[in-house]
Amino acid sequence: MVHRRVSGGTLTRGLRRALPPLVVVGVLLVGWQWYVTASGIAPQVLPSPSRVVEQGWASRDVIWANTVPTLKVTGVGFGVSLVMGWALAILVDFSPWLRRALVPLLVASQTLPIIAIAPLLIIWFGFGLLPKVVVIALVTFFPIAVGLIEGFASTDPEASNLLRSMGAGRWKEFRYVRLPGAMPYFFTALRIGITYAVTGAIFAEYVGASAGLGIFMNQQKNSFRTDLVLAAVVVTALLSVALFALTYLVQRLVIPWYAQERRRA
């Protein structure tokens, strides 16, 4: 019973938190619709929101057919990024030498102008999955690796001492203290990474792909279907928000203690 009351509380709190942005979006949409009707602007330049929804719905089969490859690319790319980010962060945590060697490179990887590199990746790797996975990994790997590295390093040195006094070696110290303590950092990094992942996928497809929301937007733009470009944009945004919300769900399952801790603090 207590449990139900708590979840009911979080539900109304969630609604109350979602309300202000929804109101703002509503006002903007009404303003947009009014402007398009009043000015008589051509739909090739600026379609009304109702037209975007209408035409998007009419083309739902095509949009869905292009959403699936985008989701797949996002999933694979982000998965690769997660595996690499974890592996690198753990290596760096165990080896001060690797930390000095790799962290500057990690920062340098963020200075790469992806917009210039993405077309090259297509030249090198073709129109398949690989160049897109590389783009997504490049944009999402950094926040995940850095978040984890900082999370491990945030361990209280006295907690490490306590573990060592219990006879723990470096691996047990990692397993019992550093790893669980880093999980809140990881989930913050995961949320940043996942929002980059979808836009990264769209961008990689935009440059060149056989299917996907990115290439769909590009084609529709070229045939002046601004309404369908915007419909695909809406789908992209919804995807990102859904994945973002999913990270909270996973967090609740993996580190239930963290929410309790925060509520009490």
Instruction: Write out the H or E segment, with its range, that includes residue 88.
Output: helix 60-94
Q: Quick one: DSSP state of residue 165?
A: H
166 binds other proteins (CB under 8 A): yes
25 binds other proteins (CB under 8 A): no
32 binds other proteins (CB under 8 A): no
- With respect to other proteins, which residue has the nearer C-beta, 75 or 181? 181
80 binds other proteins (CB under 8 A): no
172 binds other proteins (CB under 8 A): yes
- With respect to other proteins, which residue has the nearer C-beta, 135 or 163? 163
176 binds other proteins (CB under 8 A): yes
Helices (runs of H) and strands (runs of E) counted in the chain = 12, 0
- With respect to other proteins, which residue has the nearer C-beta, 110 or 260? 260
> Of residues 177, 198, 204, 232, which one binds other proteins by CB under 8 A?
177
Q: How far is the CB of 157 from other proteins (least distance, A)?
A: 10
Distance CA 168, CA 160 (A): 9
Query: Phi and psi at residue 243, in whole multiples of 5°?
Result: -65, -40
260 binds other proteins (CB under 8 A): yes
43 binds other proteins (CB under 8 A): no
Residue of 181, 86, 217, 96 whose CA lies nearest to 141: 86
Our CA angle for 20, 26, 29, nearest 5°, is 145
- With respect to other proteins, which residue has the nearer C-beta, 11 or 166? 166
Q: How many residues at the interface with other proteins, by CB under 8 A? A: 24
Q: Across the chain, where does the E strand assignment appear?
A: none
139 binds other proteins (CB under 8 A): no
- With respect to other proteins, which residue has the nearer C-beta, 176 or 248? 176
3 binds other proteins (CB under 8 A): no
180 binds other proteins (CB under 8 A): yes
Distances (CA, A) of 250 to 190, 245, 258: 11, 9, 12
Distance CA 32, CA 26 (A): 10
Tokens of 149: 């590295």
> Of residues 181, 195, 221, 248, which one binds other proteins by CB under 8 A?
181
What's the sign of the alpha-carbon dihedral 185, 191, 194, 196? negative
Distance CA 145, CA 92 (A): 10
Contact footprint for other proteins (CB under 8 A): 156, 158-159, 161-168, 172, 176-177, 180-181, 183, 255, 257-258, 260-261, 264-265
